[in-house]
Each structure stands twice: as C-alpha cells, then as structure tokens.
Structure 1
C-alpha cells in the first residue's frame, strides 16, 4: 500500500515527522531504511524532520545496517537534492537535531538553539527556498521542550526572531514537534505572527500524532501564512506504527503568486 498523493504543478506538498533517531517505539528496532522507503512512497517536496541522528558512535559499531552517511543525507539521497541538518543535542556518543529535505534550492539558512540544556534538541531551523515560479518560501522546522514554562520561553523567542527576520509579506511554513498538548502555542502563532494551523483550519482540530500505537496527543503541527491550503494529509496505515513513536502529518499548499 502506498501513501502517495498527486499534487498539481503549482502546489507544494510538505510533511513533518519526528523520526525518533531512526528507531521504533522504545528503541526496539532500527527502522531508518523502512522510514526512507515510506517517505519516498509519499514523495513530498519538503520534509521537516525532528530527532534526526547526526552521529552516534556506539550505535554505528553495534548496528550492522547503520548507514555510512549521516541520517539526513541517507534519507535524502534518492529524491531530495537539497538537505540541511542542524546539530542541537550534543553528547559523548554523538549528536542529533532537526533537518530539512527539499526538492527546491535552499538559498539561505540559519539555526538557533532554543534550549539551555546540552542534551536537549530544541531548535529553530530556518531556511529560505526558491520555488519553481521563482518566488521565495520560508521554512521553519521546530522541536520544542517538554515543559510548559520552557515552551513558553521558546515560543517567545521564535515569535521575536520571525518578526525580526521574516517580513510579514513573505510566505512561511512552520512545522514540527511542538510538544504542545495543552494547545498554548496558538496565540503566539495566530496573534503574534498571523499564522494558521493546517489541520485546525481544515477540520477544526489539530492532528493526533502521539503516541504512535494510540494517537491521542496533538503535538505535531503545520502552521502557515501567505499560502492557500489545498489539503491536509494524515498517515494512519499500520506501517507507520512500526517506524517511530510519532505519526507524520502533511499538507498540500498552492504556491504564492509572483
């Protein structure tokens, strides 16, 4: 079974996914190869990735199928010619962070670590890409903290950074793992930044993505402005329950006019 959907030439299909460093729930199985196959079946134009493993010396020695390339490059190599990896969580055995895989050229990017703790991957990865119609689109990949006070501080930092670096008339997609089960991020996104959330706008509620065996928490989000939402994409097939501790979500948007 395939999750692939076909989008029109003037649209962009995106997906956001916390891949749990390439392991299934509770780290029972190394699933990176299956994750790549599943992502290629969907064939999005842009993928926002969280908990992307850049290096892990112990696992490289222990797991025979561990790829020679960093996980982001491994996932991107067949379909996505442009990719970014932002190292945020650094520890003795390696590091992990956020990433972007993209079919369109990345013309600039920056990464801001939002966490005070070395071991926590909480970051703001911002890239600007060039769409086929020669317009620019800002992409922001997010992974926020587990504690409400921490998230509130991080959301303040994000809002301030976007206000200072991305003009209001530029299109923007912000996606990732917000860890916002209390739904406190909406005021920042809507009031401070003029963003809509794709699933909330489409169906009246955020997507349920965690935990993967019985999704009840609405922690993964897709916020946007300056684009027309065409469709939201949910991935509930049982294949996804074996790959990570989150389900991915996606959306299709119409390009902004020139």
Structure 2
C-alpha cells in the first residue's frame, strides 16, 4: 500500500493503464470514454504513465463519435507539461494502436521493438529513456500476448532486448499488461533481476469485479515502496482494466 510523505524528493511515481482504446461497450451501446480518461490520468498524479491499447487513429470511430479527439490519444491524454511518446503495435483495417508513455521528466530517447509471436496478435515493446534530475531511467512499456506459449517467448525477447539496449547499472522500469493469470511471468522476470512490490490485493482485471492482477510494474535498480489500485464505479466504467500505481525510491 502506498503511503504519502511530505518529502517527495527521490520518489518516482509510476502508473500503468490499459485504456481499451478509449471506448467501452459494444455495438450501438458503445460509449466514448477518452475524455473521462483524460481526467483520470491527471488524477493518477504519476511522474510516468505507461499506457496500452492506445489509438493513434481510427477512421470508423472518428466518424461514429462526434467528440473523437483530433489528435492521437497519447497526445490527448498527456496532462499539461507532460511529454508523450507513442509507437504502433498493431495495424488494423481502420487504424492503428499501440503503447504510449507520458512523462513529466524530459525524454532522452525512445525506440520500439516488434515482439509479435504469430500473425493473429501484433505486439511490441516501447522503450523510453528519461532524465530524472540527472539520473537516466529506462522504462519499457509492454503488452504481452494472450497465448501462454507466446508470453514465454515474448518474455525471452524482452530479456534479450534489455541485455542489448539497457546498461546493466541503469535503473529500469518494465510496466504494462502482461496477460498472465498465474505467476510464470513474475518468476521468470525475477530470475533476471526485475522485482515488484508484493501486494496481494493489487487486482486489476476485470475492472468491475477484479479477480486477477494482469497489470504489473517491475523494477531493477529502484527500491519499491508501495502499490495501489484505484477502485470505484468511476474507474470501471472507463476501461476493462483498472490502473495500477507504484512508488519507488530513486
């Protein structure tokens, strides 16, 4: 559980949130939630926000909803003073979507790696390096596949990417939707130094009545201080996932 202190120096607050492309419901009953999500992201008050299922554009939804944003969802959701980074994972008939990162700290650089395991699921890693008061922190936003075997191979790809692109001494955050209903991914990540604050009630899915934690924030080189999941009707109406917030000492 996160506890707040008057002295926030050296504390990094990270959130991860699968926003379900900014739309809830199906068919004629579906509703646009991206505007509510904009307020929600501000309420998270995180230094870094990792987002999954973010639309860059979608021609059909833009025609259907009168208030569809004129800019990409990553840009739209970024609070004032934040920088947004987005990279596409999946191209569809009417548009494209992927992972995004919003940060109140300067971005040094970013890159994307395709980790798709089969043609039915397009998946990728978004890697962003940020400058936190002179300390370079690497953040990787992930959205792993639905098939267990795919996740095993994607975690191996993640490990190879980290070994290749992230200096061994650099602080690292890996956050996102891991789609793992068990502990396999958690144990595998622990074997190469990525840990998470252990909170038994950090359930994030399904949002209305959460029974499992699919969303995680793992770190290396940072001290986990706490983990929190916002709850209530306002949250489960916006997405099928709840957001997850973690604090670390840098």
1:83 alignment partner in structure 2: 84
Where in structure 2 are there 5+ consecutive unaligned residues? none
Distance 2:48 2:109 in 1: 15
Confirm or deny: 8 A CA contact 2:50 2:102 kept in the other structure.
Answer: yes
Aligned pair partner of 2:226 in 219, 225, 231: 231
| Local SS of the residue matching 2:204 | coil
Q: CA RMSD for the aligned pairs?
A: 1.7
1:24 shift after superposition: 2.4
User: Does 2:136 match 1:148?
Assistant: no
User: Does 2:210 match 1:250?
Assistant: no
Confirm or deny: 8 A CA contact 2:47 2:105 kept in the other structure.
Answer: yes
Distance 1:217 1:109 in 2: 31
In the TM superposition, 1:119-158 aligns within 5 A as 120-132=121-133, 134-158=134-158
Q: TM-score, normalised by structure 2?
A: 0.92
Confirm or deny: 8 A CA contact 1:51 1:121 kept in the other structure.
Answer: no
User: Does 2:184 match 1:184?
Assistant: yes
Distance 2:102 2:91 in 1: 22
1:105 shift after superposition: 0.9
| Local SS of the residue matching 1:196 | coil
Q: TM-score, normalised by structure 1?
A: 0.89
Confirm or deny: 8 A CA contact 1:88 1:118 kept in the other structure.
Answer: no
Q: 1:30–1:135: structure 2 CA closer, same or farther, 3 Å change rule? A: same
Distance 2:63 2:117 in 1: 30
Distance 1:187 1:12 in 2: 24
1:22 alignment partner in structure 2: 22
Distance 1:209 1:13 in 2: 18
Distance 2:79 2:245 in 1: 21
1:195 alignment partner in structure 2: 194
1:93 alignment partner in structure 2: 94
| Local SS of the residue matching 1:54 | strand
Where in structure 1 are there 5+ consecutive unaligned residues? none
Confirm or deny: 8 A CA contact 1:25 1:245 kept in the other structure.
Answer: no
User: Does 2:220 match 1:221?
Assistant: no
Confirm or deny: 8 A CA contact 1:194 1:225 kept in the other structure.
Answer: yes
Q: 1:101–1:119: structure 2 CA closer, same or farther, 3 Å change rule? A: farther
Which deviations, in whole Å up to 9, do the C-alpha atoms of 1:193-213 show, x marking residues without a partner?
Answer: 201112x2xx3x372111111
Which deviations, in whole Å up to 9, do the C-alpha atoms of 1:50-71 show, x marking residues without a partner?
Answer: 0001110011111100010000
1:33 alignment partner in structure 2: 35
Q: 1:121–1:79: structure 2 CA closer, same or farther, 3 Å change rule? A: farther
